[in-house]
């Protein structure tokens, strides 16, 4: 049901979306006549079925998860809004109502796009964590081991230091409330994925004789753990008087060298 109190039929919403896609326009810029033709009805019939109000149709399109008036899709706006809420106020601030207000959409639109808060949180983490970029690096041809490790560290550094600082906020939440159901669900989703991606790469490097034969989970922790701790706390450490931190590039090079010395085969 739209705010105007008119229940717009789903087939008319679909017709509006098809017409907008075919014409390369936003739904709000497509004429009622063009939508009527797409739906196979007359203009008067279309208006009657939507209660005589174009606003009702636009609101029904918005409720389906598509902004009718030229804004980015609801999914993108919600991920950005949720990320800024987490970065500024922590995970507790991530409510569908708060995200809808910042993303300028309805809560119903968020349910249509994500199905619920957990899926929204998963999408935010996937977008703002380095997991997708790291997967691309380790799934490609095996390059020089030092270069690959250094590239992984640079991706981790970028993800942990850029704004909004989603991953540091989530890590802080995990340390403060390890039993948080949403974080447990996130871990259950991404931990196997990380082990599958990085674990496969580590196993292949071992088979090639470039990494010592060690339990893959420990090698992954040796790879990620030190850099994770450093870049999460870097902004605080950088404020200590008289303490000059090396640049991010130098830091990544030091961590890469330490990792190779720890697990690499000379």
Instruction: Give the per-residue pLDDT at 148.
Output: 95
Instruction: Give the per-residue pLDDT at 51.
Output: 84
On the question of pLDDT at 70 being above 70, the answer is no
Instruction: Check for a shared fold between 10-63 and 74-116.
Output: yes
Q: Residue 71: which pLDDT band, with cuts at 50, 70 and 90?
A: low
Among left, alpha and beta (phi > 0; psi -120 to 50; other), residue 66 is beta
User: Rounded to whole angstroms, how far apart are CA atoms 169 and 88?
Assistant: 8
On the question of pLDDT at 257 being above 70, the answer is yes
User: Rounded to whole angstroms, how far apart are CA atoms 112 and 116?
Assistant: 8
33-42, 172-181, 204-213: which has the minimum mean pLDDT? 172-181
Instruction: Give the per-residue pLDDT at 2.
Output: 45
User: Rounded to whole angstroms, how far apart are CA atoms 4 and 103?
Assistant: 21
| Contacts by 11-20, CB closer than 8 A, 24 or more apart | 11/39, 12/39, 12/46, 12/49, 12/50, 12/57, 12/60, 13/57, 13/60, 13/61, 13/64, 15/39, 15/40, 16/57, 16/61, 16/68, 17/61, 17/64, 17/66
Average pLDDT over residues 146-168: 92
On the question of pLDDT at 10 being above 50, the answer is yes
Percent of the chain having pLDDT more than 70? 97
Structural domain boundaries of the chain?
Answer: 10-63, 74-116, 129-263
Average pLDDT over residues 184-204: 85
Secondary structure (DSSP) of 141-169: ----HHHHHHHHHHHHHHHHHSSS-HHHH
Instruction: Give the per-residue pLDDT at 157.
Output: 93
On the question of pLDDT at 211 being above 80, the answer is yes
For residue 52, the SS3 value is: coil
On the question of pLDDT at 102 being above 80, the answer is yes
Q: Residue 178: which pLDDT band, with cuts at 50, 70 and 90?
A: confident
Domain 129-263, CATH among 1.10.1330, 1.10.357, 1.10.3210, 3.40.50: 1.10.357
Q: Are the beta carbons of 151 and 137 closer than 8 angstroms?
A: yes
Q: Are the beta carbons of 6 and 51 closer than 8 angstroms?
A: yes
When comparing pLDDT for 213 and 59, which is higher?
213
What are the residues whose beta carbons fall under 8 Å from the beta carbon of 232, sequence distance 6 or more? 160, 167, 168, 171
User: Rounded to whole angstroms, how far apart are CA atoms 14 and 39?
Assistant: 8
Average pLDDT over residues 118-122: 92
On the question of pLDDT at 243 being above 60, the answer is yes
Instruction: Give the per-residue pLDDT at 54.
Output: 81
163 CB burial (10 A radius; 0-12, 13-18, 19+): exposed
Domain 10-63 indexed as CATH 1.10.10: yes
Q: What is the mean pLDDT of the chain?
A: 88
Domain 74-116, CATH among 1.10.10.10, 2.115.10.20, 3.60.130.10, 1.10.10.60: 1.10.10.60
Instruction: Read off the pLDDT of residues 15-50 as tens digits, 9 standing for 90 and up.
Output: 999 988 888 777 887 888 899 999 999 888 888 888
**Of 258, 191, 203, residue with least CA distance to 227:** 258
């Amino acid at each position: 049901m739209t705010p105007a109190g008119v229940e717009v039929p789903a087939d008319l919403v679909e017709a509006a979306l098809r017409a907008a896609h075919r014409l390369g326009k936003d739904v709000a810029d497509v004429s009622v006549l063009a939508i009527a033709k797409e739906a196979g009805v007359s203009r008067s019939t279309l208006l009657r079925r939507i209660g005589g109000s174009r606003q009702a149709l636009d609101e029904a399109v918005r409720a389906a998860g598509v902004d009718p008036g030229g804004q980015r899709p609801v999914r993108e706006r919600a991920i950005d809004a949720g990320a800024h809420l987490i970065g500024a106020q922590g995970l507790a601030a991530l409510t569908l109502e708060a995200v809808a207000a910042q993303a300028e959409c309805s809560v119903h639109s968020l349910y249509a796009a994500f199905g619920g808060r957990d899926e929204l949180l998963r999408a935010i983490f996937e977008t703002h964590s380095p997991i997708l970029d790291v997967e691309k690096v380790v799934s490609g041809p095996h390059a020089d081991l030092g270069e690959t490790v250094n590239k992984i560290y640079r991706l981790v550094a970028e993800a942990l230091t850029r704004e909004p600082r989603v991953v540091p906020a989530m890590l802080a939440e995990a340390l403060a409330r390890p039993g948080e159901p949403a974080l447990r669900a996130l871990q259950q989703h991404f931990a196997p994925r990380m082990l599958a991606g990085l674990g496969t790469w580590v196993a292949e490097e071992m088979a090639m004789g470039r990494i010592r034969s060690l339990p893959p989970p420990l090698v992954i922790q040796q790879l990620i753990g030190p850099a994770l701790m450093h870049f999460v706390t870097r902004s605080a450490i950088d404020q200590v008087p008289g303490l000059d931190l090396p640049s991010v590039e130098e830091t990544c090079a030091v961590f890469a060298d330490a990792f190779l010395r720890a697990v690499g085969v000379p």
